[in-house]
Structure 1
Amino acid sequence: MKTICFYFQIHQPFRLKRYRFFDIGNDHYYYDDFNNEEIMHRIAQRSYIPANYTLLEMIKNSNGKFKVAFSISGIALEQLEIYVPEFIDSMKELAKTGCVEFLSETYAHSLASLKDPIEFANQVKMHDDKIEALFGQRPKVFRNTELIYSDDIACQIADMGFKGCITEGAKHILGWKSPNYLYNSAAAPKLKLLLKNYKVSDDISFRFSNYEWSEYPLTADKFIGWIANTPESEQIVNLFMNYETLGELQPRETGIFEFMKALPRFAEEKGIGFATPTEIISKVKPVDSLSMPYPISWADEERDTSAWLGNVLQNEAFEKLYSVAERVRLCDDRRLKQDWNYLQTSDHFYYMCTKHFNDGAVHSHYSPYETPYEAFTNYMNVLSDFIVRVEAQYPAEIENEELNALITTIKNQASEIEILQKELKSAKLEKQQAKTKVETSKSKAKVTANKNTKATVSSKTTTKV
């Protein structure tokens, strides 16, 4: 039986306000609250909320046969809780159906997996704690920022306990192979890989309302027919896309919601089902292993990381940001740690991309800046102020070796404290048990004495009579 796996990504960054050189050291608030609120409200009203109700209707009308998965960054969840709490409520309603799976990712939607394994692991845990607190699910399948994946990252993902990972079905990796199978990682054989079928995903995301497309208009029966006509052995079709596809990238008037609602009915007619990523990796056996020595992503023709780290500007900002990672982890300043998360978001580096910027490419479409150079200057001004704040707590004069030694000392002290607390707890328990034992013995002795006293009195009474 052929199976469709739908997964939607939800992410919005905390966009930075215009931050001048002269603001460094004087203004420690970096965000464009007005723009962030306006964008989140607009997208939620046009896309996220109506899409949630559409999917809920699809689940109910199909008697639970329609399944879907979401990957929601922690950064997006924070903004949704602040600006659109009704979306969180509608997502909780979806979660209650049992037909929705939440995927793991980095809390800050960051590129930490490419630079800092400790930060990467911390953010994944932070994200999954947030998902579990809000929706009552602990993610079991991982989806990295921008679908970035490599053999090295696979090992990190497997070490964190995940059984499956979602990534791009990149042509230069697959070659003649199809993305419509389950694979496993060559570097971490127990990690199963679900690969995005970017052609059919993009048919919905980017070509659905394109009048110049040869297949326009795209109807639900035509789309399901394409999937049904794939080779019999190809049992999985992974449709991965941004949630804004529904209502924002493809506005309501294009018929995108009606298209979605019709999919389960036509799928059932063709004997095609729906499943979540966890259901697939638990039921389907991998057909082959894939090795990816270099990082891949969903972006551009290259399907690599050049959209975020492809030029000197991006790499300069990236290296400078992570140069203070150890110091930030040492501090307990809540505001500083919050800014650290917000500044790691991959969007900031995406805005600095110079590839095809002037020809109307997707990079310029999503950027709030007029040029990548403006994006770089603004970010670096903010980052300079942030680093001043970090170094106020842990001065730059402290070399990394000293810092690492300090971290080791702190960790050792923490371990010693934990051991001592356990010993103290054990000692208290033993003392309490001993006290209880003594009190029990006293009670037994008292009861025995009372019995003896009663027996003596009874004997004297009998003798007297």
Structure 2
Amino acid sequence: MTSLCMYFQVHQPFRLRRFWPDDRSGFFRYFDERSNREIFERVAQKCYIPANRTLLESLEEHKGEFMFSLSITGTLLEQCELWGKDVLESFRQLAETGAVEILEETFYHSLSSLFEDKTEFVEEVKEHRKMVSDLLGVKPQVFRNTELLYNNTIAKIVSNLGYKAILTEGADHMLEGRSPNVLYKAKNSGLPILFRNYKLSDDIGYRFSARWWEGYPLTAEKWASWAAGVKEDCINIFMDYETFGEHQWRETGIFDFMEKLPAEVLKQDLEFSTPVELTRKYSPVAEIDVGDFSTISWADMERDTSAWLGNDMQRRCFEEIKLLEPFVKKTEDPEILRIWKHLLTSDHYYYMCTKWLGDGDVHSYFSVHSTPFEAAVNFMAVLMDFKAQVFKKLNRMA
């Protein structure tokens, strides 16, 4: 019987404010408290609360048969603690069912795995592990990197940290005609890899309400019949949680679709599984070799790092942030360190992307900036001011 593995990414960043030096200090000198709270509360009401309620009801209705996984970033959990205790409680209720596997990732949804020195990456993973344990009472066993960024080195570090598998994108140029619907293993570590079936995932995540699409309107029965056509080990359906109610508004019927999906899937020759269960049920069929210069992700048509490092603005900002690391850590100042880590969040670089058409629309969706150029200029203004604060602190310590 084919296993259907559904995974949802839950994330909101701390966005930068339109920066101009003033008398503010600390974290909110750089990050926009009002805008971040407004966006969080909007998404909570449109997505998190109703989606959690819908899925909790489905778990109860199909007890022992329906299950899925969530990866919740540390930045989103921080926002829950600040502005949404009820949201945090609803995630805790999902975790307590035992049918929802919580995955590991970097605390800050950051690009730290792309550093040459992976020390920061490991620190952020451990920080996320502690927060998930403290707030949700679970210890993740499977790893999902920021934006599904993956290469052999990342897999080896994740394996050394004790995780049982890693998730990534079923990119055509990497699979080279092979199926994403079986497990593979990473070169040099043997870590099991779960590849996203991007077609069936995007049928829900991107095309659900597209009237131009030949599959419109998409019903739970229709989608389940498509999934049943996959006669292999597993179908990995990975998507943003904000698909429900935010990217696809309630009026599109997305909640009704998700409410009916478990029953329709179970009518087919399919069963639900979580990522860790897949590693118990199936063995890898082949080794996958992804070098550091061929890093893959689930972003855009290219499925590489170009969504965050594809132009000179993005690369310059990222290099400047990396260069600050030893100086920031030398201050041993918790607030300075917190600010620097939040500046590593991938969203800041994503908003600077100059791609257009469909991908460009996705890049601008949650941005508070009118253009990628404005995003880059604002980030650099923040960075220059922050750098001055770092060296001022170091001079006082000398």
Q: Given the two structures, how large is their TM-score scaled by the length of structure 2?
A: 0.95
| Structure 1, unpaired ranges of 5+ | 399-465
Return the letter of the residue paired with 2:373: Y
Residue-by-residue CA offset, 1:142-188 (whole Å, 9 max, x unaligned) = 10001100112111111211120000000000111111111110231
CA distance in 2, matches of 1:359, 1:222: 27
Q: Hey, what does 2:85 align to over in structure 1?
A: 85
Residue 147 of structure 1 aligns with which residue? Answer: 148
1:45-444 → structure 2 map (5 Å cutoff):
45-115=45-115, 116-189=117-190, 191-230=191-230, 232=231, 234-293=232-291, 294-356=294-356, 361-394=361-394
Summarize deviations over 1:200-235 as a string: whole Å, max 9, x none.
Answer: 1000011111111111111111111111112x3x12
Q: CA deviation at 1:360?
A: 5.2
Q: Secondary structure at the match of 1:361?
A: helix
Rg larger for: 1
Question: How far apart, in 1, do the equivalents of 2:6 and 2:289 lie?
Answer: 25
- Structure 1 residue 64 displacement after superposition: 2.6
Offset at 1:358? 10
* Letter in structure 2 aligned against 1:105: E
Measured in 1, the distance between the counterparts of 2:98 and 2:358 equals 46
| Alpha-carbon separation, structure 2, partners of 1:285 and 1:153 | 21
Q: Structure 2: which 5+ runs fail to align?
A: none
Q: Give the Å deviation of 1:38.
A: 0.7
Kindly indicate whether structure 1 or structure 2 has the higher relative contact order, using CA contacts under 8 Å at least 6 residues apart. 2
Q: Which moved more, 1:219-228 or 1:333-342?
A: 333-342
Output the amino acid matched with 1:159. Answer: N
Cα distance between partner residues in 1 of 2:357 and 2:225:
37
Q: Give the Cα separation in 1 of the matches to 2:5 and 2:41.
A: 28
Shift, 1:301, TM fit = 1.1
Aligned residues: 393
Preserved contact between residue 7 and residue 237 of structure 2 (Cα < 8 Å)? yes
CA deviation after TM superposition for structure 1 residue 93, in Å: 1.0
1:25–1:385 Cα contact (<8 Å) kept = no
Tell me which protein shows more helix as a share of its residues. Answer: 1
- Per the TM alignment, residue 194 of structure 1 is displaced from its structure 2 partner at its CA by 0.5
Change (3 A) 1:156 1:63: same
Distance 2:189 2:360 in 1: 40
Q: Give the alignment's Cα RMSD to 1 decimal.
A: 1.9
Counterpart Cα distance in 1 of 2:22 and 2:189: 45
Q: Is the 8 A contact 1:5 1:237 kept in 2?
A: yes
TM-score when normalising by structure 1: 0.81
8 Å Cα contact 2:18/2:378 also seen in 1: yes
| Letter of the 2:165 counterpart | G
Corresponding residue for residue 439 of structure 1:
none
Contact 1:25/1:388 (8 A) holds in 2: no
- Check conservation: 2:354, 2:360, Cα contact below 8 A: no
Partner of 1:40: 40
